[in-house]
Structure 1
Amino acid sequence: MIKAVVFDVDDTLYDQKAPFVAALAPIIQVPTSFDLTRTFQAYRRQSGQLAKQFMSRRTAEEWTVTRLNTALHAQDLPPVTPEAALAFQDAYAQGLQDIKLFPGLATALDQLKDQYQLGIITNGKTDYQLAKVMRLQMHRWIERDTILTSEEAGVAKPDPQIFTMMNRRLNLRASETVYVGDCYSLDIRAAKKAGWQAFWFNHRNFEMPDGDWTPDQTVEDPTELQNLLLALSGVMQL
């Protein structure tokens, strides 16, 4: 029986791609119809990897340039100058000041909070991720002690240990928890390896690797996610 619902943050609770694309628009020339999803995903993926590789011996500015140009290369887009990369980073950070929950999530959370323990597992610096959580007003539904960042855990998704740590905080078995996330490798596969159930919010329409861990549920847009969570709470959305 599920007793807790735990969420990822970035691109699960809010649309992280929109401010990313808006920040890129002034510095790269692509048609308006060009889909930057692969660049966006590469940026998210490379961000954590390059942080570990370079931050010990390079400045933060060099890291910013490297991770953006690595992401642009994923779609054969030309690299940008250091000045442009830093301008992008400033614009992206500013865009993340105005994030809002995906439509329908607040309604679903209102229903879930009376029946389940709620939590968050997110990769990233604690202060930075908590600032997003506050902007999204997640404190209305989730207590601070059930928010776990990779920085405070000392391990990051996809390491299953971070899910085990959350089990201890919730005082629940793995089989009693479900994780909701957008990234198959970081969220779904990792949660399943930890013994959790996993709901894949696949709103970027990615293919699932063959012969790998299967999500317990898959939804492809915010309305489907809202309906899934409402169904979990016993409320049918008409």
Structure 2
Amino acid sequence: MHAPLDSNAFSGIRARGIRAITLDLDDTLWPIWPTIERAERVLLQWLQTHAPATAQSLQTQTAVRAVRTEIVGLRPDLAHDLNGLRRESIRLALTRASDDPSLAETAFDVFFAERQRVELYEDALPALEFLAARWPLVALSNGTADVNVVGLGRFFHASISAHRVGVAKPDPRIFALAAQAAGVPAENVLHVGDDALLDARGAMDAGMHAVWLNRAGVDWAHGGASPSVTVASLAQLCQGLAEG
């Protein structure tokens, strides 16, 4: 069972002067794995028509993950570029199956278009409307979703993605870039995200305030100080900020 909302903790955050909010995307605004699995199915269907030998070689998740793992080892320069890793994984699979490797670009575009079709959590849109009306929002993601393509661009002042800036959460540099995009010091930024290490711990280490979105109600397991505020939903986040 989720803990009740701690209004005093939110009061403390507000008292320290929140002037902008950075917001994770995957598993914060929408569940990511159903999206990825659907995009991979669409990609496989495309390959069955245009590169059937490659499609045959990628029939199982084990095979798909094996190619991905190999590319991660071969291309350390793409460590923070999930788009690049996906594209080169497709290229490697095409090459191995003696299909045309130049198909990788179009195949990736097929995957990427489907990856942008997300299904928001029920509380996401009301939360975005509430937050964007009060603070500049900056999307801060290690993933490859584009808030403009997804249809949420109107809520965001800016968007910072690991594959574009070359560093990923929890690296303090990506949080610093998000604060710069918001135009405020890090100590006046509140970061909200679902990942205890990448989001909550990373934001605190970067000098930001953090709210951990813990939908599953799991224990904090990362040592050091835990976030001053943990919420079970974005609705609870908005409630706390409204009352804080």
Q: TM-score range by the shorter chain?
A: 0.5 to 0.7
- Structure 2 Cα separation of the partners of residues 91 and 138 of structure 1: 21
Query: Larger Cα Rg: Structure 1 or Structure 2?
Result: 2
Structure 1 length as normaliser, TM-score? 0.64
1:112 equivalenced with 2:131 (yes/no)? yes
Q: Distance in 2 between matches of 1:50 and 1:218?
A: 37
Taking a change above 3 Å as real, the CA distance of residues 63 and 225 of structure 1, as seen in their structure-2 partners, is farther
Pairing partner for 2:235 from 202, 205, 226: 226
Is the CA contact 1:4–1:116 (under 8 Å) kept in the aligned structure 2?
yes
Q: Return 5+ residue gaps in structure 1 as ranges.
A: 30-38, 65-88
Structure 2 residue runs of 5 or longer lacking an equivalent are 1-16, 45-58, 78-84, 94-107
CA shift at 1:21, angstroms? Answer: 5.5
SS in 2 for 1:198: strand
1:168 equivalent among 167, 180, 185 = 180
Taking structure 1 as reference, are residues 96 and 51 closer, same or farther at Cα in structure 2, changes over 3 Å only? same
CA 1:219–1:51 in structure 2 vs 1: closer, same or farther (change >3 Å)?
A: farther
Aligned residue identity for 2:145: Q
Query: 1:60 aligned to 2:60?
Result: no
Rate the CA distance shift 1:120–1:17 in 2: closer, same or farther, 3 A. Answer: same
Q: Which one-letter code corresponds to 1:109 in the other structure?
A: L
Distance 1:157 1:142, change over 3 A: same
Q: Tell me the SS of whatever aligns to 2:223.
A: coil
What is the CA–CA distance in structure 2 between the aligned matches of 1:22 and 1:138, rounded to whole Å?
21
Which structure ranks higher in relative contact order (CA pairs < 8 Å, sequence separation ≥ 6)? 2
Q: Is the 8 A contact 1:99 1:135 kept in 2?
A: no
Identical amino acids, percent of aligned pairs: 27
1:208 is matched with 220
Distance 1:202 1:63 in 2: 37
Map 1:29-44; keep pairs closer than 5 Å.
none
Q: Residue 137 of structure 1 is aligned with which of 126, 148, 151?
A: 151
Q: CA 1:51–1:9 in 2, change beyond 3 Å: closer, same or farther? A: farther
Deviations 1:28-49 (A, max 9, x none): 69xxxxxxxxx9xxx8xxx7x8
TM-score (norm 2): 0.62
1:61 partner amino acid: I
1:100 aligns with 2:130: no
Residue correspondences, number: 192
Measured in 2, the distance between the counterparts of 1:129 and 1:225 equals 19
Please tell me the root mean square deviation across aligned C-alpha atoms, in Å.
3.9
**What SS does the aligned partner of 2:198 have?**
helix
Q: Please give the secondary structure, in 2, of the residue aligned with 1:98.
A: coil
8 Å CA contact 1:100, 1:136 repeated in 2 = no
Q: Check 1:136–1:102 CA distance in 2 against 1; reply closer, same or farther (3 A cut).
A: farther
Which residue matches 1:67? none
Deviation at 1:18, TM superposition (A): 2.4
